[in-house]
Amino acid sequence: MLHHLRFFAERNPEAHRVHQESFCGVCQGQGRFSGPMSSMAINYLQAYFNLIACGLEGVPAQKSACRTEPWNRVGVRRASPPVERFLAAVNLLLLASWLRHQKERGDRRASVGLFMLRSGVRKAEEELRGAELDPAIFQGLPLADPLSGGLSEVFAEVMVRLARLCGLPEQAERLAETGRSLARSLVLWHVSVPPSPDNPDWFPELRQELARDPVGLRQKLELHLAELREHLKALPLRESQEAALAVVDSMAEGERVLQPLRGDPFEAYKRRWLQSGDPCELPAGVIRR
C-alpha cells in the first residue's frame, strides 16, 4: 500500500535517502533469498519493515552494485542475515496469500504467479517455522476483517519476531503495538484513497461501509496515524526514525502517486514513477532518478 505515497525528496532529503537505501536493501535481500526474479515482488511495506529493523540494529548504509544496473553502485541498508531472510519470507507469504485469493476468484495470472513462486514460498514457510511463526497465519488474510485482528495480529507477530532477531526482546511489546497500529493505518489509508489500477479495491465491503461517513473515516485514520507516530518515536530507531516518521506524515497529508496522464503510455508511466519518489528504476534500467 505504501507504494501510492508521494515521497518528496526536496522536502526531506535525508529521510528520503535513508528510505531509498532501505528499498534498495530489500531488493538485494529478496533476490538473495529467493532468486533474482523475486526482487520484482518487493514493495514499500517490506522496505518499511526493513527500515525499522535497520534502525533497531543500527545498520549503516553501504555501497553495493545495483541489481538493475550492476555497473552502478548505490547506497543500501541491509539488516542482519537472519532478519533479511525473515522479512523476505514474510513478503513472499503475504504475496502468496493474496495470489491464492485471486486464484479462487478466477484470475489466471495469479495461478501463474503462484507457480513461479512455489519454491520460494516453500523456503519462506521453512524460514518462518525456524522463527517460531506459523505460516498458516498468513492463510485467508484477504478474507479476514481487516480491522478486527487478522492483519493487525499478523503484523504484531512479525514485529515481535523482529525484536528477537534484532537482539531487543525488551522492545517486543512496543513493536507489537507498532505493528497493530501500522496495519490499521494502512487499511484505513487504503480505503480512503479512490480505487484505481494503481490502487486495487482490496476491501470493497469495508470501503463501502466507511464511505458513508468520510469525516469519521478521516478521524479514525488520523487517530491511528497519531498512535503509530508515538510508537515509532518511542523506539530506538536511530537514523531510520526520521524516515519512518516522514512516511507517516505523508500518509496523514494524503500525498500519493498521481494517475498516469493521457497520451503516450510510456511517458505517463515514466512521469508517475518519477513523481512517486520511487528509488528504483523502470525495468532494464531505462530511467534513473
Rounded alpha-carbon distances, angstroms, from residue 40 to 37, 67, 91, 199, 274 = 6, 11, 11, 18, 18
Q: Would you say the pTM of this structure is higher than 0.95?
A: no
- How far, in Å, CA of 184 to CA of 161, rounded? 19
> Would you state the pLDDT for residue 29?
94
Is the pLDDT at 279 greater than 70, yes or no? no
Rounded alpha-carbon distances, angstroms, from residue 287 to 9, 203, 233, 267, 279 = 17, 33, 35, 11, 11
Question: Lowest mean pLDDT: which of 110-114, 119-123, 165-169, 236-240?
Answer: 110-114
pLDDT average, residue stretch 231-250: 93
> Would you state the pLDDT for residue 7?
52
Rounded alpha-carbon distances, angstroms, from residue 125 to 82, 86, 115, 205, 208 = 14, 10, 16, 30, 34
Nearest to 140 by CA among 159, 154, 124: 154
> Would you state the pLDDT for residue 69?
81
> Would you state the pLDDT for residue 62?
93
pLDDT tens column, 132-171: 999 999 988 877 777 777 899 999 999 999 999 999 999 9
pLDDT average, residue stretch 40-66: 92
List the beta bridge partners of residue 199: 196
pLDDT average, residue stretch 109-118: 92
Place of cell 530506538: 236
Work out the pLDDT band at 198, boundaries 50, 70, 90: low
* All domains in the chain, ordered by first residue: 2-285 (1.10.600)
36 versus 49: which is more confidently predicted? 49
Is the pLDDT at 237 greater than 90, yes or no? yes
pLDDT average, residue stretch 26-35: 93
Nearest-Å Rg of the Cα atoms of the chain is 18
102 versus 26: which is more confidently predicted? 26
